[in-house]
Amino acid sequence: MPGEKKSKRRSKKNSEMEDIERTILSEDAQKNLKPSFVHSGSTLLNLVCSDSIKGGFVKGSMINVIGDSHTGKTILALTCLAEVSNRKQYDDYFLFYDDAENACNFNIKKLLGNTAFERIVFLSPPSFTIEQWADRVRELLKEGKKFIYVLDSLDALTSESEVELLEKQIKERARSGVTLSESYGTEKAKAISQMLRTISNDLKQTESLLYVISQVRENIGARQFMPRYRRSGGKALDHYSQHVFWLAIKEVIKSSKRNMPIGQLTQVKCTKNKVTGKIRLIEVPIYYSYGVDDIGSMVNFLVNEGRWKRNGGIIHCPELNFNGTKNQLIQFIEDSKHDKSKLKKIVWEQWNKIESELELGRKSKYDD
């Protein structure tokens, strides 16, 4: 009977999905993943952070995402909040977005969906000084709330000492026409360091996540052995961050119908990782009207690694029993939760294969 055949096919698919989840969970258990994680919204970024597709950003920590304008920093952060909004295990988390730059004008409901739009608290007014931001975070910690707090960005914040000095300069200039020469550049770094030092333990206790975005700055006068770019805020950001990511645009993505930009391929480089200790780089497509393309990034990864072959415009995917263009493949995967779960498993296997090839193969110095 046709109905019986459909039922059997559905039952087989459900069984295969359960097998995939059990395999992944079993592998995670073998790795004894600790601490627990907040999903980043990108499967590849999860792997960068923890070598697990179930991983991501460490609960009870701070992360720092650095990049120039239009690299996708804000969309990446909002994607994390949207992912958390749609997962039941994070129902006890409060989600905050602090637009210190006053520059986020995305159609949030269209980009992230109704669930995220209703759950995320967009702070108004946004923080103006580091001290105001610190007070907000401390108040949440004092209440014992679990939260994810995105600051966008740290560079937009001033400090109380900067405000006081500016007022003093204005008065002095009006009186004598002379500009004061005091330097307050170190005051901002000191305020950040003090703030992070006093909240780091409370973040861990509440399993909250502080997501700090920074703007990239050119390192003027850098010598040959020095980095070309830097961030403001002093060394405290690097010291207290569990993960540090640098973003850069690799290429602009243009429409196949019209020669106009619709997004970009963003490189995400993890330069500090206190979970695996590894420096890794991935590429993530980010579209203006869609956001982070998780499926597209995984398809690109498997093609670039040679796991799936591409002949002309056709991609051959033996594990999914599918041959077609990239757009056809993505639509095929989107139409089935089963195929998306299977795609993640394939990516996870390929990632582990790469990591195993990078092992030294040396016997531990401290084995008995």
Q: What CATH number does residue 121 fall under?
A: 3.40.50.300
Categorize the per-residue pLDDT at 189 as very low, low, confident or very high, splitting at 50, 70 and 90. confident
Query: What mean pLDDT comes out for the span 295-309?
Result: 98
Q: State the DSSP string of 347-367.
A: HHHHHHHHHHHHS--PPPTT-
- Strand-strand pairing, 57-58 and 37-38: antiparallel
Rg of the chain over Cα atoms, rounded to whole angstroms, equals 23
- Specify the 3-state DSSP secondary structure of 214: strand
Residue 213: give the domain boundaries. Answer: 33-292
Read off the pLDDT of residues 253-270 as tens digits, 9 standing for 90 and up: 999 899 999 999 999 999
If asked whether residues 38 and 26 sit together in one domain, one would say no
Query: What mean pLDDT comes out for the span 310-316?
Result: 95
Residues with Cβ within 8 Å of residue 52, at least 6 apart in sequence: 27, 28, 31, 33, 37, 46, 348
- Kindly tell me the burial class for residue 51, based on how many C-beta atoms sit within 10 Å of its own C-beta (0-12, 13-18, 19 or more): buried
* Interaxial angle between packed helices 130-142 and 185-206, expressed in degrees from 0 to 180 and rounded to the nearest 10: 10
Read off the pLDDT of residues 52-87 as tens digits, 9 standing for 90 and up: 999 999 999 999 999 998 999 999 999 999 999 999
If asked whether residues 165 and 134 sit together in one domain, one would say yes
**Residue that finishes a domain, picked among 235, 268, 292:** 292
Alpha helix ranges (H) inside the chain: 2-31, 43-50, 73-85, 108-112, 114-119, 130-142, 160-176, 185-206, 236-240, 294-304, 326-334, 337-358
Closest CA to 301 of 126, 92, 44, 112: 44
Query: What mean pLDDT comes out for the span 1-16?
Result: 51
Q: Is residue 366 part of a domain?
A: no
Six-digit token pair at 77?
């952060």
In angstroms, the CA 249 to CA 264 distance is 7
If asked whether residues 181 and 82 sit together in one domain, one would say yes
If asked whether residues 107 and 234 sit together in one domain, one would say yes
Q: Is residue 275 part of a domain?
A: yes
Alpha helix ranges (H) inside 241-315: 294-304
Q: Specify which residues 95 forms β-bridges with.
A: 120, 148
Q: How many residues does the chain have?
A: 368
Read off the pLDDT of residues 323-333 as tens digits, 9 standing for 90 and up: 999 999 999 99
Q: 255 phi and psi, to 5 degrees?
A: -65, 140
Q: Is residue 363 part of a domain?
A: no
Closest CA to 59 of 84, 76, 78: 84
Q: Is residue 285 part of a domain?
A: yes
Domain count, the chain: 2
- CA atoms in the 13 A half-sphere facing the CB of 230: 11
280's enclosing H/E stretch is strand 280-287
Closest CA to 351 of 51, 70, 150: 51
If asked whether residues 318 and 234 sit together in one domain, one would say no
pLDDT for 183 equals 47
- Kindly tell me the burial class for residue 306, based on how many C-beta atoms sit within 10 Å of its own C-beta (0-12, 13-18, 19 or more): exposed
If asked whether residues 67 and 155 sit together in one domain, one would say yes
Q: Is residue 367 part of a domain?
A: no
Q: Identify which has the larger pLDDT, 231 or 51.
A: 51
Q: Is residue 21 part of a domain?
A: yes
pLDDT for 187 equals 75
pLDDT for 226 equals 41
If asked whether residues 283 and 300 sit together in one domain, one would say no
Query: What mean pLDDT comes out for the span 206-229?
Result: 72
If asked whether residues 127 and 275 sit together in one domain, one would say yes
If asked whether residues 233 and 286 sit together in one domain, one would say yes
pTM of the model: 0.85
Residues with Cβ within 8 Å of residue 265, at least 6 apart in sequence: 249, 250, 251, 252, 253, 283, 284, 285, 286
Query: What mean pLDDT comes out for the span 136-145?
Result: 96
Query: What mean pLDDT comes out for the span 30-46?
Result: 82
pLDDT for 273 equals 98
Task: Give the percent of the chain with pLDDT over 90.
Answer: 70
Q: Identify which has the larger pLDDT, 199 or 229.
A: 199
